[in-house]
Amino acid sequence: MKKAFNDARPILDTIEQHGYEAYFVGGAVRDFILERPINDVDITTSAMPDEIETIFERTIPIGKEHGTINVLYDDDQYEVTTYRTESDYVDHRRPDHVAFVRELKEDLKRRDFTINALAMDKDFQVVDYFEGKKDMRLRQIRAVGEPAERFTEDALRILRGVRFQSQLDFEIETHTFRGMAAQIHDIKYLSIERIVVELKKLFHGVAVEKALKSMNHLGAFNDIPVFKSFDMKRLKLSTPLSMDFVLAILKLQQGSVQLKPLKISNQELQTIQTYEKAIAQINAIQSKFDIDKLLFQIDIQCIYSIISKTDILKENDVLHVSPFIFNKQVVETRYAQLPITSFNDLAVNGHDLMTHLNQRGGPWIKATLNQIVDAILKRDIINDKDEILKWVKQHVEV
């Protein structure tokens, strides 16, 4: 786990050689202490942004006005940020301006939670001004300083706190939770993009059930677009899920809601729609043909994903099919026996149909291809061009 820090050590060495302080900081330090996987390593320093640009040959001023310079070293990039303090926040979202300082403690005390207000030097010695390590031992999330001030500055910190609860399976310290509750309505000032980032991580955390209770206790969903349209207390989550899957459950459980206000990608919208369609089809299964049609229409990995979440779907009363009719073994067996798994497998195409029937193109082609698929899946015909065209001539009216 030290590799990520050792890879970045030359950055700290170089800064220190020029007479400045430099430390690893934030989530990477927290995760190192907790022996969790480490992603990005961030660096904080007493050097000013202009000084960092002078020290290193290859830099990108990605957030220079806020003190952050990207330093390119070997094949990696490292965010190096100058110690800073922040002024009053605008609309509970962002500081009016930042001021650069030379003291590490001044930088750390502006951070959200004690477990994130940790710094570590290149020799793995931790600087802990706010008892973050103690809070880790107590498995609790506690605000740095006065909670009301932290959450008034940036209401996103409320959602971050609950997200950390979900990811780390920690409790939220009582005074901190009261501070969250006092400022909860300020989340309406946040951009939906920032909110969605936190919710995705929250729903996918190991303690999502605990975090969901906190969100409901705070009334947080009441100020979040789309989610405020659902009765979130009806949602039961005992295992980590993607937000796509959560939204599919909510829509199946409580009715369709327009998702555009979430500003999620078209791919995510399509995934949610596919989950909804697949679960609805699974609930309607009456025969082996229904299973085969489902497996033809829906990606097999999507089906396996749904099967793996059978318990939680039943707990939310959105999956009603008997496990004796539909289960993984049945799916594997039926899928292995499918004569075709997509339209690309068909021995005929639209051009073949137009030529054989001497017809122009039109909606009839899609309808006919669907009829052919059904006939093949029912084993009325085999997937052979001549046999299909003969069957079409006898059974399809154009």
Which 3 state secondary structure label does DSSP give 367? helix
Q: Helices (H) and strands (E) in the chain — how many of each?
A: 19, 13
Query: In this structure, is the dihedral angle defined by the CA atoms of residues 193, 195, 196 and 198, taken in order, positive or negative?
Result: positive
pLDDT above 60 for 80: yes
Q: What percent of the chain has pLDDT over 70?
A: 97
Q: Which of 199, 154, 209, 205 is nearest to 180 (CA)?
A: 154
Determine the pLDDT at residue 398.
74
The model's pLDDT over 110-153, given as tens digits with 9 standing for 90+, comes to 999 999 999 999 999 999 999 999 999 999 999 999 999 999 99
Annotated binding site: 27, 30, 40, 42, 111, 154, 157, 160, 163
Confidence of residue 98 (pLDDT cuts 50, 70, 90): confident
The model's pLDDT over 222-248, given as tens digits with 9 standing for 90+, comes to 999 999 999 999 999 999 999 999 999
The model's pLDDT over 53-75, given as tens digits with 9 standing for 90+, comes to 999 999 999 999 999 999 999 88
* Average pLDDT of span 7-31: 97
Q: Which amino acid makes up residue 250?
A: L
Question: What is the chain's alpha carbon radius of gyration, rounded to the nearest angstrom?
Answer: 28
The model's pLDDT over 281-320, given as tens digits with 9 standing for 90+, comes to 999 999 999 999 999 999 999 999 999 999 999 999 999 9
Determine the pLDDT at residue 39.
84
Distance CA 37, CA 31 (A): 7
Distance CA 101, CA 302 (A): 51
Distance CA 172, CA 316 (A): 27
Distance CA 4, CA 26 (A): 14
Determine the pLDDT at residue 21.
98
Domain locations along the chain = 1-132, 266-334, 343-395
Q: How is residue 101 annotated by DSSP?
A: -
| Both tokens assigned to 71 | 């330093």
What are the C-alpha distances in Å from 347 to residues 334, 371, 384, 391?
Answer: 21, 14, 6, 13
The model's pLDDT over 21-51, given as tens digits with 9 standing for 90+, comes to 999 999 999 999 999 999 889 999 999 999 9
Annotated binding site for CTP: 27, 30, 111, 154, 157, 160, 163
User: Which string of DSSP letters, residue by residue, matches 246-303?
Assistant: HHHHHHHHH-----GGG---HHHHHHHHHHHHHHHHHHT--SHHHHHHHHHHS-HHHH
3-state percent helix, strand, coil for the chain, nearest multiple of 5: 55, 10, 35
Annotated binding site for Mg(2+): 40, 42
CATH topology of domain 1-132: Beta Polymerase; domain 2 (3.30.460)
Confidence of residue 91 (pLDDT cuts 50, 70, 90): low
User: Which residues lie below 8 Å from residue 362, measured CB to CB, with a gap of 6+?
Assistant: none
The model's pLDDT over 248-283, given as tens digits with 9 standing for 90+, comes to 999 999 998 999 999 999 999 999 999 999 999 999
Distance CA 303, CA 327 (A): 10
Confidence of residue 394 (pLDDT cuts 50, 70, 90): very high
User: Which residues lie below 8 Å from residue 397, measured CB to CB, with a gap of 6+?
Assistant: none
Q: Which of 136, 129, 23, 138 is nearest to 81 (CA)?
A: 23
pLDDT above 70 for 89: no
What pTM did the predictor assign?
0.91
CATH topology of domain 343-395: Serum Albumin; Chain A, Domain 1 (1.10.246)
HSE, side-chain direction, 13 A CA sphere, residue 287: 5
Distance CA 368, CA 117 (A): 64
Annotated binding site for ATP: 27, 30, 111, 154, 157, 160, 163
What are the C-alpha distances in Å from 356 to residues 272, 346, 361, 386?
Answer: 39, 16, 12, 10
